[in-house]
Amino acid sequence: MTDAPLNVLFLCTHNSARSILAEAVLNAIGQGRFRAHSAGSSPRPSQQPHPLGLEVLQSAGIPTDGLHSKSWDVFAQPGAPVMDLIITVCDNAAGEVCPIWPGHPATAHWGYADPSAGDGPDADKREAFRQTLHQIKRRAELLVNLPPDKLQRTLLQQSARELAQR
């Protein structure tokens, strides 16, 4: 592994909840070894990060500055950061045909239930966001704590996929 941080892209359909949580968490705990990004396969027009997601991140002391919803097309364009690892965090995005990513990054799927789904009260959704944040943080901590040899390009995909089982 070089001194350059590993670029990780978290993908979801709308880039408003799970992928935003994952981006914020990995950037907060990545110890400078990781640079997380997030995007959606089909964000809605004027899509914004879910307010409860931002609230839960802030309550956990995780910075939310600069978080915004965007299309995955942004990362397939010339001049975009080259990703080392792309992780889908929702089953819908995992099943979609992705762009051809520059550099042919490793891929993995870490599925999480959508905390914003349903018509329940905000208190229930807030708790769903807390639980999802906890699950993402646990897996991100495992990623951050992998030994450097497990983060080598040849093993990165296998390592990230194994974390989906934890």
1 belongs to a structural domain: no
CATH number, domain containing residue 139: 3.40.50.2300
- Per the CB < 8 A criterion, the answer to whether 86 and 139 are in contact is no
pTM of the model: 0.91
The confidence score (pLDDT) of residue 69 equals: 95
Can you give the residue range of the structural domain that contains 121? Answer: 6-154
CA dist 63 → 5, 28, 67, 147 (Å): 19, 7, 9, 26
Domain annotation covers residue 110 = yes
Return d(Cα 43, Cα 74) in angstroms, integer: 12
> Residues 21-69: pLDDT tens digits?
999 999 999 989 999 999 998 888 888 999 999 999 999 999 999 999 9
Residue 163, domain member (yes or no)? no
Per-residue pLDDT band for 84 (boundaries 50, 70, 90) equals very high
Rounded distance, CA 68 to CA 15, Å?
A: 8
| 128: in domain | yes
Of 159, 163, 119, 106, give the one whose Cα is nearest residue 140. Answer: 163
Domain assignment present for residue 166? The answer is no
The dihedrals phi and psi of 159, each to the nearest 5 degrees, come to -60, -45
**Number of helical (H) and strand (E) elements in the chain, helices listed first:** 5, 4
* Residue 95 banded pLDDT, cuts 50, 70, 90: low
Average pLDDT (141-165) is: 88
Residue 101 inside a domain? The answer is yes
Distance between CA atoms of residues 110 and 157, nearest Å: 12
Q: Is residue 25 part of a domain?
A: yes
- What's the number of domains the chain is made of? 1
Whether residue 130 lies inside any domain: the answer is yes
Separation CA 3–CA 95 (nearest Å): 33
Q: How much is the average pLDDT of 103-118?
A: 91
Q: Indicate if the pLDDT at residue 96 is higher than 80.
A: no
Query: How far apart are alpha carbons 83 and 9 in whole angstroms?
Result: 7
